Amino acid sequence: RSVNIVAFGNERDGFSEDNQQACLIWSYLGRSALISHINNSLSVSQAGNPVFTKYQACVFGNVRLVVHDFPLWDIFDSDWYTSRSLIGGADIVVIKYAVNDKTSFQELKDTYAPMIKKTLNHSSVPVIISAIGARKNGVPCTCPLCTLDRRSCVTTSEGVQLAKDLGATYLELHTLDDFYIQKYFGGVLEYFMIQRLNQKSSEKMKKRKKTQKCHRVQPPQLEQPEKMPILKGEASHYDTDLHNLLCCCQCADVAFYPEDLSTVVEAHKVILCAVSHLFMLLFKVKSPADIRDTSILCTAQSLFTVEMGDTVPPLPRGVPRCVPPVRVLVKDSVFCSCLLDILHFIYSGAFQWERLEEDIKKKLKDTEKTEHVLEKVKCILKTPGKLNTVKDCRSHQMDDRLYSTSLRLFFNTPVLADVIFKIQGASVPAHRAVLVARCEVMAAMFNGNYLEANSVLVPVYGVSKDTFLSFLEYLYTDSCCPASILQAMSLLVCAEMYQVMRLRHICELYIITQLQSMPSRELASTSLSIVSLLKKAKFHNSDCLSTWLLHFIATNYLIFSQKPEFQDLSVEERSFVEVHRWPSNLYLKQLAEYRNYIHSQKSHCSMM
């Protein structure tokens, strides 16, 4: 057995002329009746300066005592690794300072105390702070500008505060005589030595008992439950959906023409307005007073003219519409020749600026015309009141979710809406272009031989208004945040009804995540029926979720087997749960046998 003590600091007054002033550690070792067989050695640096003194002795008869006494703090500056290792391996740390050396104390407090505290973090090593010497404050100077003589010694409150910061025991030793050394400092140090020896003995006994347990009859090992099937999320195809809308031009409500009416390019007002204030102005979503940017107003007037009327030429695809498209004449012929490339850029999220530059350069093969067109595009993308530079346009490459925030402006609003859903007596406005791009079922419904293709009012059955609004929000923003497991299940049913598979996967992941995070106590007391969720998931073809829920019931067998809903499982489902149950029947049988063995051992002991 051994006790390791590490001491730091100099108890000698920096201004004392007595170089033979006694050392705290040496005084204790030499005077204590419990210490015997003292040896000491001095370690010096390469420059010949003393680094620390190492003392070895015996305490309490047969306990080895090792003390490293560092009079200087330079060890922290020159060899932090060694000082940290010494503190980490210490049983007791002693910090000393002279009460009449305020400069050294301030350096200890500001520089070295935080380093010691960091090293002792999460450690139970006791620390003793010893303030040594009698204070020698004279009459302070009365000059208001002089601070040399004020508080030249370390006060008791400063020492106590340092001890609080380090979680240490604070001692004041006015002199290094027998009383202060043996009864005061020695009493505290020996108390901590006994405490540390008892702690080491306790840890040794625990290790010995642990070793002995290895030779006894061991309880059965509970294996981990089977791994749940991993449900992988589906990657977003939000940008692709909107870009494909331009390619197929379903539900187009705006047609761009050159002045000679030789060609036509179809587009969608809600998509254009989602990325451009200029198009908002053009289609009267905003007024000039709302824009308040002359460059946008001038560009809109110089590029486009909107004509409403019955003189619209027939469009190539001949798709039936409720409302004829808005006719827009493009005045700038060079810009009009690149319009399709610009629309592809906008429908892709307006973030591939370098690709647009390259496409226009190839088409025009003229630097001046290319710059002219790109300047117009910058103005189309411009935010009112701000300057748009090439750097700003290229910064869109960092944000490929432009629509997910801008299309949110048109969610559940009548602005530009061309269809109204009637659900539970309420009206919900929407935009065919977004619905057709994001949902294949609605694309067929609005473009096929169905009543909805030429109807503004569309009734919705089988889902609640809140669920349908959450469904539409996902179509517009590519995100959804269900408020509960039941709401997520309702949204899953709606997603399956309209065949939006990614939304169904998001709902499945939400339900799984919420159930996995539920503590066993809450799972046992909840009124939520997991078996009902399982039945609904199967009915609506959510194979991944139904398989996971079966595994979840099997993994929490002891909880669900006590619930009445457990009886609602089919024969096939019950068989699966019994086969994959956790804990297994074998483990429970082994556990019962082990308990009987322990009980029999206790009975034998009581008889003896």
Confidence of residue 129 (pLDDT cuts 50, 70, 90): very high
Confidence of residue 217 (pLDDT cuts 50, 70, 90): low
Question: Could you give the strand order of the β-sheet that contains 419-423, starting from the edge strand earlier in sequence?
Answer: 426-430, 419-423, 457-459
Bridging pattern class, strands 169-173 and 304-307: unpaired
d(CA 170, CA 155): 12
Q: Is the pLDDT of residue 48 over 80?
A: no
Q: Considering Cα of 378, then 382, then 387, then 391, what sign does the dihedral take? A: negative
Confidence of residue 204 (pLDDT cuts 50, 70, 90): confident
d(CA 577, CA 564): 15
71, 76, 585 from 80: Cα distances, Å: 16, 5, 57
Predicted local confidence at residue 495, as pLDDT: 96
Mean pLDDT within 441-458 = 87
Q: Is the pLDDT of residue 151 over 70?
A: no
Predicted local confidence at residue 212, as pLDDT: 60
Predicted local confidence at residue 364, as pLDDT: 92
d(CA 375, CA 355): 15
Mean pLDDT within 307-314 = 54
Q: Is the pLDDT of residue 138 over 90?
A: no
Q: Which domains does the chain have, with CATH numbers?
A: 2-40+48-138+149-208 (3.40.50.300), 249-308+322-381 (3.30.710), 411-515 (3.30.710.10), 524-598 (no CATH)
Predicted local confidence at residue 147, as pLDDT: 47
Q: Is the pLDDT of residue 396 over 50?
A: no
**Each residue of 336-390: pLDDT tens digit?**
999 999 999 988 876 688 899 999 999 999 999 999 999 999 999 888 766 655 4
Mean pLDDT within 126-151 = 66
Per the rule left: phi > 0, alpha: psi between -120 and 50, beta: everything else, 547 is alpha
Residues 408-440 as b/e (b if ≥16 CB within 10 A, e otherwise) read: eebbeeebbbbbebebeeeebbbbbbbbbbbbe
Predicted local confidence at residue 326, as pLDDT: 92
Predicted local confidence at residue 278, as pLDDT: 93
- The residue that leads in pLDDT, 597 or 162, is 162
Q: Which two tokens stand for residue 224?
A: 């981990």
Percentage of the chain modeled with pLDDT above 90: 44
Q: Which of 119, 40, 38, 47 is nearest to 78 (CA)?
A: 47
Predicted local confidence at residue 385, as pLDDT: 65
Predicted local confidence at residue 139, as pLDDT: 47
d(CA 287, CA 204): 83
- The residue that leads in pLDDT, 35 or 418, is 418
Average pLDDT, the chain: 83
d(CA 513, CA 507): 10
Q: Which two tokens stand for residue 409?
A: 């402006």
Mean pLDDT within 459-487 = 94
Winning range, highest mean pLDDT, from 400-409, 439-448, 525-534: 525-534
Q: Is the pLDDT of residue 216 over 90?
A: no
Mean pLDDT within 106-131 = 86
Confidence of residue 538 (pLDDT cuts 50, 70, 90): very high
**Each residue of 585-603: pLDDT tens digit?**
888 888 888 888 888 876 5
Half-sphere exposure of 569 (CA within 13 A, CB side): 22
Mean pLDDT within 204-215 = 70
DSSP secondary structure, 7-23, as one string: EES--S-TT-S-TTPPP
**Each residue of 268-297: pLDDT tens digit?**
999 999 989 999 999 999 999 988 888 999
d(CA 236, CA 13): 73
Confidence of residue 320 (pLDDT cuts 50, 70, 90): very low
Q: pTM score, two decimals?
A: 0.60
Rg (CA), the chain: 41
7, 131, 135, 296 from 157: Cα distances, Å: 22, 11, 13, 70
Q: State the CB neighbour count (10 A cutoff) for residue 97.
A: 24
Predicted local confidence at residue 392, as pLDDT: 52
Bridging pattern class, strands 326-330 and 304-307: antiparallel
Give the start-end residues of each E strand in 444-586.
457-459
